[in-house]
């Protein structure tokens, strides 16, 4: 008695199914960024911390006669809020895929991994720009209140150079976090490395530059944190841009490239 | 017929067994192993760099300088260790097993804290050993070694490292979430001192109370060992705020946290 193998009753015809459009991937990644508890609270704490720091700054500025604040001083205070948390957003965009084990679903539904990574990158950029927008609005509000309540004259020293420098700074912060995340694919490791990079390394560079002359001369070319400083007060010169590009290549482009390559080949568990 | 499980003669899990189990958990996962390995390797790398720099530049370096380099590095990785000892239980979802096998949660937390202290002592021992070798090498290369490192520095090193680790542990208990605890810790460690500094420079009344709030600056009295009674009181008060309070709230939270 022989049983013939049953033929597949029907075939799924996917020849006319269109590939997932990139815009949809971006929308999905955008939703992933805020509809988990970790993501939502991270975004909320970033905005709240930004507001809290500015309000404290405002209170100090109003009560202390010898403190003089401008629009830009309010923006600069975001170094303590957005500057710290935006990179963490960049990190979690990528690593949560691995820590929450959703990578299997993501990469099954869209096996073209470069597009998924690019979609995440776009979301990161959108969030960075949104953070900048919130910071600009809050700074405007604070400066307006400062103008009303303080005896000092209100200074609206906003310029295109300042604002674009500010946007660039925040985007770079986010991208650096993203690059470290791609490199390590692990939230705590990426956060620790990022914090070491942004808080410990500048001190080490400083010490090294003071002790050794040759290090002092190559330091501007490799110290990305330092290279970003002229962006803050919009005083970038041609040489500063060269420092910026070279050190950025080391700290941003190389990790991003290696990390990108790693994600494309990483085993999905 | 009902089978009866007679537990009346089963002894309770002894505390030292909990400590051994927690100690093993701290190094036999990939995250734990690499964290410990990175601490060791980073200290080694930094000491080699320092040794290379001081010998080529003919700078003077004492045993104490090598120890201080290690202390700087471990002071930001040990808290991460303190954090992961506790939060890994939640992120890796082993809390269910742990608290089912030992429902007396305070004992588990105490065991974890003790493991943190043990690992800190181990790190201190490794740092001192590396510092010893570096000083010996420095002596060989430069012809004279400076063994300036007193007992008071040694104890200060021990105490500050343990405080750093416990700071991480307290935040971990408060948040029960690795990334959140790490981010808050780094903000506390690297951003807050700057804010305190600015605040104290700008506001008169704040600079008066600042020393009572700033736990990290207050810890310098441990290194000096010769502070006034007021400085020690400032250490205790700021320590209560930054260590005692989060630890108490965090432990209360772990004791009641839903295990998922």
pLDDT in tens, A47-83: 888 888 888 888 888 877 777 888 888 888 887 788 8
pLDDT band at B245 (very low <50, low <70, confident <90, very high): very high
Tens of pLDDT, residue by residue over A130-178, are: 999 999 999 899 888 888 887 777 778 777 888 888 888 899 999 999 9
Residue B205 pLDDT > 80, yes or no?
no
Residue B204 pLDDT > 80, yes or no?
no
B183 touches chain A (CB under 8 A): yes
Q: Do B190 and A60 count as a contact with CB atoms less than 8 A apart?
A: no
Mean pLDDT score, B142-154: 76
Question: Is B130 within 8 Å of B47 (Cβ atoms)?
Answer: yes
pLDDT band at A7 (very low <50, low <70, confident <90, very high): low
Position A182 scores a pLDDT of 92
Instruction: Report the range out of A231-235, B191-195, B230-234 with the highest average pLDDT.
Output: B230-234
Question: Is A180 within 8 Å of A192 (Cβ atoms)?
Answer: no
Position B109 scores a pLDDT of 92
Position A8 scores a pLDDT of 62
Q: Which residue of A has its CA nearest to B204?
A: A64
Angle between helix A187-195 and B63-91 (nearest 10)? 150
Residue A37 pLDDT > 90, yes or no?
no
User: Model's pTM, two decimal places?
Assistant: 0.81
β-bridge partners, A91: none
Residue B59 pLDDT > 80, yes or no?
no
A64 touches chain B (CB under 8 A): yes
pLDDT band at B48 (very low <50, low <70, confident <90, very high): confident
Position B189 scores a pLDDT of 82
State the Cα–Cα distance between residues B75 and A255, nearest whole angstrom: 26
Position A9 scores a pLDDT of 64
Q: Do B80 and A84 count as a contact with CB atoms less than 8 A apart?
A: no
Position B74 scores a pLDDT of 84
State the Cα–Cα distance between residues B64 and B145, nearest whole angstrom: 11
In this complex, the residue of B56, B76, B202 whose CB is nearest that of residue A64 is B202
Question: Is A61 within 8 Å of A146 (Cβ atoms)?
Answer: yes
Position A1 scores a pLDDT of 47
Q: Do B194 and A80 count as a contact with CB atoms less than 8 A apart?
A: yes
pLDDT band at A196 (very low <50, low <70, confident <90, very high): confident
State the Cα–Cα distance between residues B92 and B188, nearest whole angstrom: 26
pLDDT band at B18 (very low <50, low <70, confident <90, very high): very high
Mean pLDDT score, B89-115: 88
Average predicted confidence (pLDDT) for chain A: 85
C-alpha distances out from residue B176 to B33, B49, B84, B87, B244, Å: 20, 36, 9, 5, 17
Residue B91 pLDDT > 80, yes or no?
no
Instruction: State whether the Cα torsion A72-A78-A79-A80 is positive or negative.
Output: positive
Mean pLDDT score, B24-44: 86
* Nearest-CA distance B250 → chain A (Å): 19
Residue A2 pLDDT > 60, yes or no?
no
Q: Do A88 and B179 count as a contact with CB atoms less than 8 A apart?
A: yes
Position B1 scores a pLDDT of 57
Residue A5 pLDDT > 70, yes or no?
no
Per the rule left: phi > 0, alpha: psi between -120 and 50, beta: everything else, B14 is beta
Position A253 scores a pLDDT of 92
> Between residues 80 and 99 of chain A, which touch chain B (CB distance below 8 Å)?
80, 84-85, 88, 92, 99
Mean pLDDT score, A4-28: 79
Residue A180 pLDDT > 90, yes or no?
yes
């Amino acid at each position: 008695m022989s049983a013939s193998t049953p033929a597949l009753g029907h075939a799924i015809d996917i020849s006319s199914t269109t590939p997932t459009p990139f815009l949809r991937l971006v929308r999905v990644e955008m939703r992933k960024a805020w509809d988990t508890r970790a993501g939502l609270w991270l975004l909320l704490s970033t905005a709240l911390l930004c507001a809290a720091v500015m309000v404290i700054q405002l209170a100090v500025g109003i009560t202390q006669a010898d403190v003089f604040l401008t629009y830009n001083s309010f923006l600069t205070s975001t170094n303590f809020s957005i500057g710290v948390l935006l990179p963490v957003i960049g990190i979690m965009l990528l690593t949560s895929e691995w820590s929450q084990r959703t990578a299997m679903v993501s990469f099954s539904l869209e096996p073209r991994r470069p597009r998924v990574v690019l979609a995440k990158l776009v979301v990161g950029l959108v969030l960075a720009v949104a953070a900048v927008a919130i910071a600009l609005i809050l700074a405007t509000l604070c400066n307006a209140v400062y103008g009303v309540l303080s005896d000092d004259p209100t200074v609206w020293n906003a310029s295109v150079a300042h604002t674009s420098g500010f946007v660039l700074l925040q985007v770079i912060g986010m991208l650096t976090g993203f690059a470290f995340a791609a490199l390590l694919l692990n939230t705590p490791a990426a956060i620790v490395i990022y914090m070491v990079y942004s808080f410990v390394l500048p001190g080490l560079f400083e010490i090294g530059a003071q002790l050794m002359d040759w290090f002092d001369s190559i330091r501007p070319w490799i110290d990305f944190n330092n290279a970003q400083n002229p962006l803050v007060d919009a005083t970038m010169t041609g040489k500063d841009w060269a420092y910026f590009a070279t050190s950025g290549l080391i700290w941003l482009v190389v990790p991003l490239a290696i990390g990108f390559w790693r994600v494309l080949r990483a085993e999905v568990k | 017929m009902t089978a009866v499980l007679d537990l009346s003669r089963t002894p309770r899990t002894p505390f030292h067994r909990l400590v051994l189990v927690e100690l093993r958990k701290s190094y036999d996962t990939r995250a734990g192993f690499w964290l410990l390995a990175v601490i060791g390797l980073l200290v080694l790398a930094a000491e080699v760099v320092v040794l290379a720099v001081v010998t080529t530049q003919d700078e003077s370096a004492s045993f104490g300088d090598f120890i201080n380099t290690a202390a700087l590095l471990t002071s930001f990785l040990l808290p991460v260790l303190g954090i992961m000892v506790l939060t890994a239980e939640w992120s890796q979802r082993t809390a269910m097993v742990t608290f089912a096998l030992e429902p007396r949660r305070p004992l588990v937390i105490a065991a974890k804290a003790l493991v943190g202290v043990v690992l800190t002592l181990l790190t201190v021992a490794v740092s001192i050993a590396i510092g010893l070798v570096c000083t010996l090498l420095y002596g060989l290369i430069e012809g004279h070694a400076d063994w300036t490192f007193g007992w008071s520095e040694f104890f200060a090193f021990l105490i500050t490292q343990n405080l750093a680790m416990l700071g991480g542990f307290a935040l971990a208990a408060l948040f029960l979430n690795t990334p959140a605890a790490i981010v808050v810790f780094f903000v506390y460690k690297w951003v807050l001192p700057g804010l305190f500094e600015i605040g104290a420079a700008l506001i008169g009344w704040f600079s008066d109370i600042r020393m009572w709030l700033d736990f990290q600056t207050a810890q310098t009295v441990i290194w000096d060992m010769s502070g006034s009674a007021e400085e020690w009181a400032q250490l205790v008060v700021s320590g209560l705020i930054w260590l005692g309070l989060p630890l108490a709230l965090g432990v209360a939270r772990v004791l009641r946290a839903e295990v998922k």
